[in-house]
Structure 1
C-alpha cells in the first residue's frame, strides 16, 4: 500500500532486461512507489538462524545488535532485511524485537515471509512504525521468496563476508544470525539500488555500478517547465569537473574524493561540496592548489546563487590529507576506504 505521496515517491521505472546475477530480490505484493539509490550496506537477520535461537534472551540480543548497527552504519545508506514482523512485542519469534529508535536510520525496512510447510507467516506491513516510517521517508517492502517467479539471492546474503565482528565486536557471537554485508566490498564498484512501482505492484533490488542513478527524479522540478538538475546531482557533477581539470603534477595531487551530502544524494540548495584531496608535494604546491580551488569555490557559489538565490561565500569545503594522515587514519583521512560512509574517489586529470 502506498505510504505517502510526493515527488520523491513517484513510480520507479523497472528495467526488463536486467541480468539475473544483478538481481538480489524481487517483490510483487503490497509494493508502494519509490526508489532508493546507492545502498552500501545490508543488515540481514537470517530467518532460519533466528528461528533456531534457543531462548528469549538470545532473541532480545538480536534486537540490541540491530540497534547498535543502526547507530553505526551511514544513515539512509543501509537496508534492514529480517524475518516476519519487525517490532514484535509479545512472541518475538515472529520478528525482531526493536523500537523505532532502533531502526530509524535505515533506508528500507524489509520483512521476509518464508513458507514453512503450508504456512506463510503474517507480516506487519510496517504497521508497528507506520507513521514514523512515513514521516522519515523510510521505505517498507515485504518479500515472499517462496512464491513462483520470486527472486531472493539467499546465497549472496549468507556467503558474503560478514562485517559484524569488525563493526560491533561485542555481538560477534551472533554472526550466524545477523549478517552485515558491505556491498561495494562484496561486489567491487557496486551498490544496491531498490526500485519500487505500485502501478505494476513490482519491486526489485539491483546490484549496479556505483555512481549517479540516471532515473532519479529531479529535486527542482518547476511547475509548467522542464525539471532542472537536482542539487546533489549538480554538486557531484561539479566535483567531477574539478577533478577532471586539476593539474595533478603542478599541485602535487595524488587523488580526489567527494563525501557528504553530494555523495549521499541528500544535498539541499545551501549545501556545500565536501572534497577530500590527497596531496604529496611542497608547501608552495599546496598554496597554489588552495588558490586554484578558492577560485572554483567562489565561481560555484555564484552559480548556485543564480540557481537557488542562496549565497554562502564559497561552495567548496576542502580537506587536504597527506600520506602520513592516511597511514595514521587521522582526521578526514579515515573516510578513505572506511567501512561505513566511505568517500568516493573521483578520477583526476593525469
Structure 2
C-alpha cells in the first residue's frame, strides 16, 4: 500500500473558504497526515485530465471526490477520469457511478417497491409521459415534483390544486395550481398546462427526468437527515421548515431551523435504515457505499396509525460537514479501514 490519498477539488464555487478550499477538506488531510499517511488536494480541470490521471495512478491508493458537480462545466469529463482511475486500481470514494446512483432522485424509483418509498411514486423520462400521467397523479392530491440532479431545493416543487371541482379522472389543463419551490418557499400560480410546459426543462438533456411523489404533510414536523460515514451513522440533523402555510423546504437558505442529534436518539429509524442497506446497494448498482453520504427522511403515518419514515432523497456528490469539523478524525480512520480491507482481500485473492 502506498498510504497516499488524493482529494479532488475544483477552483471557484460558493462552497470555498477564503483560502480557496472547501472548509472540510484540509481537516481531513491533516487527520490522515497525523496517522502517517500522505494526503493532498488536486484541483481538477478538463485540460489537465490526462496529467492528473498519470499522477494519481502512479502515486495514490484512493481518491476522495470533494467536487460539487454543479461547479463543473461538464461533469461527464470528470466522471470519465474517475472511472479510468477505478479501472486502474485506484479506490474510488465514491465510484462515479455510485455518485450518480445515490445522488440522483432516480434512486427513489429503483427503491419504489420497498418500505422506503411510496408505491405511488412515478418517474417521467420524456415530456410525453409527463404530460399524459401527471394530471392523473395530481388528481390524487398534493404532489411533489423533483428534478433529477438538483440541489439546495432548486427544481423541487410542491404542487397543489387551487381550484378544481371536476369529477373527471384527471385534472384539467386550465386548472389553477399553487406551486411552491423548495429553494426559498416562494409561491407561483400557474395553470396546469403552463406549469407542465415550464417543467419540460427538467426532463430535457442528459440525465433529465422528473420524480413525482405524494406530498407528505408531516414535513412540517421536520426532515430527518442521517449523515453516514460509509456504513455508520455519525449524526442526525433534524431540519424543521420555516413557519408559514406554504413553507415546506428544509434548507437553511429557506429559513429552516437545524438541530443536531446523536444516532441513538433516532434508534428506530437508524436500525431500519441499516437493515435496508443491502437492498439499497443491490438496487443502486452493487457499488460499495459512499464514504460520506446522507439519507433524508420525512415522517408519515402508516395504515395502523404508527409513525413511519419515507425516504425523500440521498446525496453523496459532495456532502459537507463544516459545522462538525472534528468528524475529519472519523473520516480518516474510515478511509484507512476501507483501504486496509481492500489490501487484505487482494492478498487473499493472490494466494
Normalised by the length of structure 1, the TM-score is: 0.25
Q: TM-score, structure 2 length as denominator?
A: 0.25
